[in-house]
Each structure stands twice: as C-alpha cells, then as structure tokens.
Amino acid sequence: MLRTFIAVDVSPEVLNRASRLIDHCRQLGIDARWVPVENMHITLQFLGNVRENELPLICRSLEKAVRPFPAFDVVCRGVGAFPSIERPRVIWIGVDEGREELIALQGAVEQAMKELGFRGEARRFEPHLTIGRIRSETADAPELAAFVEQNEAYDASVFDVSEVTVYSSHLKRNGPKYEAIGRIALEG
C-alpha cells in the first residue's frame, strides 16, 4: 500500500519566496513544524493508502478528467492561517489569480476519484500552499497575527499549472519523502 495524493507543483521562485517567509517566522520565534521546500505543493486530493495495482486506473481516470483543462498561471499572494488567525493551526500562502481555475481542476479530480470509490473532503477546497503547522495554538498568537497582517499582500510569485502529479508519501524519521508516480498533462 502506498500513501497517495494528487497535487500541482509550484515554481522554484514561489518556493524561494516561501522559504524567505519561513526564515522570517523562525526569526520571530513562531513555534511550528515548517514544510521543507522540496515537499511544497498544492494538494488537490489526498487518497490515503492505495494498492500499487490501482495506480494505473487512478492515472487513467485522472487523465480523462484533467486533459481537457488548458494550462493556466497561478499567482501566489498573501499569508493566512487555518482555521483562523485567532486559532491558527496551519500557516499558508494564498492563491490570487488562477484561484477559480484551481478550484475547477480540483473539482474534476475529486469527481474522477469519487467514481473510483475515494471519498472527497467534507470542507470546501481552498487553494493554498501550506508552509507550516503550528505546534502550540496560543503561544505565538500575537507574533503570528502581526506577521499575517504585515504579509497579507505578500507577493509569492507565479507558477504555471500545466500538469497534475500523483505522489506517494513515504513517512521517514525526519519527515515525509514524496515520490512522483504519475504526471498528467493539461492539454485543453
């Protein structure tokens, strides 16, 4: 069984700017588990444990679902927290331009996977790039709130969405390692 998810990759420039934000948060002493830049992506759907023999069917279904989409640009802008800045658990970089296209792409992915028996998310998809997970909800609230406010319009650059990637996640002692096991081009 492979822990599997479907995502879009972001550009090196977005990763570079995300890394700068993380460095700034570390300097502020915000207590979080920071996402290594090599693991950053925008998740479209988490599938969970999947048998290896199911992967070709998953990729074929994804191909039918996403191939009709044209490639598009996504502008990453702003910083926020889920579920809220008052009770932060996740720190993220937001999506500005390209948001509706990502939502439509995610909907097509989720529908294709639902037809294969995978459950979708209960909550509405909100495109974002996770940069960290807060360890203690209250310890850093004032610093984090100030940081988010100062960076609400942070320009994290742009990236091109031209494919969807199926990843496996291998849990290691020092965090997960992701391996691309299928890439499906947007050809619309």
Token reading at 132: 């960290």
- Helix 12-28 / helix 141-150 crossing angle, nearest 10 deg: 140
The single residue of 8, 18, 77, 128 carrying the catalytic annotation is 128
Count other C-beta atoms under 10 Å from residue 45's C-beta.
Answer: 23
24 is catalytic: no
The C-alpha angle with vertex 65 and arms to 11 and 90, in degrees rounded to 5, equals 45
128 is catalytic: yes
DSSP at 38: G
Residue 178 contacts by C-beta under 8 Å, 6 or more apart in sequence? 39, 41, 167, 168, 169, 170
The single residue of 22, 25, 41, 131 carrying the catalytic annotation is 41
| 171/188 Cα distance (integer angstroms) | 35
Q: Return the active site residues.
A: 41, 128
